[in-house]
Amino acid sequence: MKKQTIIVTGASSGIGKEIARHFLEQGHSVVINSATAEKLEQVFNELGGGDNLAMVAGNVSDKSTGEQLLAIALKRFGSADVLVNNAGIYETKPFLEVDEAYLDRFLNTNLKGTYFTTQAIIPQMLKQHHGVVINIGTPLVYHALGGAPATAPIASKGAIHSLTLQLAAEFGKHNIRVNTVAPGVIRTPMHGDNADQSAGIHLVNRVGEVEDVAQMVYTVANSQFISGAIINVDGGMGAGHHLN
């Protein structure tokens, strides 16, 4: 994979931060994003703050954030080759307790954030005659858990899966590939100290690590014949579970 410019949203912790680190270690230029400027600056320094790293603070639900990400990518590195739509939120709430404001939180960040950030970057990919968009989804779209009432985030992620397929269909002829990587339970700050309690919902009887997801994202970005795919990185969670 020749040196490219990678844009990673939601990169201030967990999966997003590790994806940024992985691409940097492979010699690529990376633009990282987070809605929290202070946390973003901390990660910027943690990742080395070198000439091949830039940052843009902003909420992806705001269309201007995607535009700023593209502007910085072009100004600093001259291209926008891979977009990783990692920014997202997840929590549980019983369906009958969900109101419109609560649902809108997930639609705004997860769906609209992915939709409009991609919309900001695709025109540059069209000019370049190449590009890769990788969305972060979840196997819970197809493998629901009754003990985890999460209709709002799962509905928004399901829309992202559908968006992935349609974008791949519309832009494949322009050498733009679009895929979704769908992690199982990953050891991140979002799960706190409780991640290992979910080991049994995976066939491999363990939770995933951020490196597992970053490696797959890198592979998908580098694999020229993968497009329109939903790729689970879930220890077999989508196929069954290890629980007795």
Range of the domain at 159: 5-239
- CATH number assigned to the domain comprising residue 108: 3.40.50.720
First-residue to last-residue Cα distance in the chain = 43
Number of domains in the chain: 1
Question: pLDDT tens-digit profile of 27-53?
Answer: 999 999 999 999 999 999 999 999 999
CB 163 within 8 A of CB 119: no
Position 77 in a domain: yes
Whether the pLDDT of residue 195 is over 70: the answer is yes
R_g over Cα of the chain: 17
Write down the mean pLDDT value for the chain.
Answer: 96
Position 13 in a domain: yes
Position 244 in a domain: no
Give me the pLDDT at residue 244, please. Answer: 61
**DSSP result, 92-142:** -B-GGG--HHHHHHHIIIIIIHHHHHHHHHHHHHHHHT-EEEEEE--GGGT
Classify 2 in phi/psi space as left (phi over 0), alpha (psi -120 to 50) or beta.
beta
Classify 128 in phi/psi space as left (phi over 0), alpha (psi -120 to 50) or beta.
alpha
CA angle (213 as vertex; 210, 216 as ends), nearest 5:
150
Question: pLDDT tens-digit profile of 73-106?
Answer: 999 999 999 999 999 999 999 999 999 999 999 9
Work out the pLDDT band at 58, boundaries 50, 70, 90.
Answer: very high
Give me the pLDDT at residue 153, please. Answer: 98
Give me the pLDDT at residue 213, please. Answer: 98
**What's the average model confidence in pLDDT over 191-215?**
89
Taking the complete model, does pTM exceed 0.85, yes or no? yes
Torsion of CA 29, 47, 55, 179, to 10 degrees: 60
Distances (CA, A) of 198 to 152, 184, 191, 243: 21, 10, 10, 10
Position 45 in a domain: yes
